[in-house]
C-alpha cells in the first residue's frame, strides 16, 4: 500500500507504518532540520513544502498516488504543555491536513495528535471536512506509554 507522510518531522510515523508493511513513497514537511534527519533515515523523497498552501501541496502529493495519507499536524496549540490556544496559527495546519486529504482522496488516512485536540474547534472543523469528503471517521486515544 502506497503511503505519503505529511508533517513527517524526523520520521517516527513513517518508520512505524513502514514496519507495518506500508510502502512510504514520499514525505513532506516545512522544517529543514527535521527533513535533514529524515533524509538520513529514509531513501524515498522527503520534500520541503508549506502545507498551508493547499493547492500547491495537493499538486505535489498527487503524482505519488497514495492509498493512504498519514500525518501528525503540529500539536503545540493543543498540547497541555503549550499555551493551549488553538488560534495561535499552528492549529490551522490541522485544517490544512483535512483539506489536503479531501483533495487527494486516498482510500484511507491516519491523523495523529495529542489527546487535548478532542476539545478543540479545529478538530471539529477538520472532521466536518473529512465527512463532507465522504470519509467515515473512527478515532481513539492511544496510550503508548510503556
**Can 8 be counted among the known catalytic residues?**
no
CA dist., res. 22 & res. 24, Å (int)? 6
Catalytic hit among 60, 75, 98, 117: 75
The contacts of residue 11 (CB under 8 Å, 6+ apart) are: 5, 27, 37, 38, 41, 42
CA dist., res. 125 & res. 91, Å (int)? 11
- Annotated catalytic residues are 75
Amino acid at each position: 500500500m502506497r503511503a505519503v507522510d505529511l508533517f513527517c518531522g524526523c520520521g517516527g510515523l513513517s518508520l512505524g507504518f513502514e514496519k507495518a508493511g506500508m510502502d512510504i513513497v514520499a514525505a513532506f514537511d516545512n522544517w529543514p532540520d527535521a527533513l535533514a534527519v529524515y533524509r538520513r533515515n529514509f531513501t524515498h523523497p522527503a520534500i520541503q513544502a508549506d502545507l498551508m498552501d493547499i493547492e500547491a501541496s495537493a499538486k505535489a502529493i498527487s503524482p505519488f498516488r497514495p492509498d493512504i495519507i498519514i500525518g501528525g499536524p503540529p500539536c503545540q496549540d493543543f498540547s497541555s504543555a503549550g499555551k493551549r490556544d488553538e488560534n495561535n496559527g499552528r492549529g490551522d495546519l490541522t485544517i490544512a491536513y483535512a483539506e489536503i486529504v479531501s483533495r487527494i482522496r486516498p482510500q484511507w488516512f491516519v491523523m495523529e495528535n495529542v489527546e487535548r485536540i478532542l476539545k478543540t474547534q479545529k478538530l471539529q472543523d477538520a472532521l466536518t471536512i473529512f465527512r463532507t469528503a465522504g470519509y467515515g471517521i473512527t478515532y481513539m486515544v492511544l496510550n503508548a506509554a510503556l
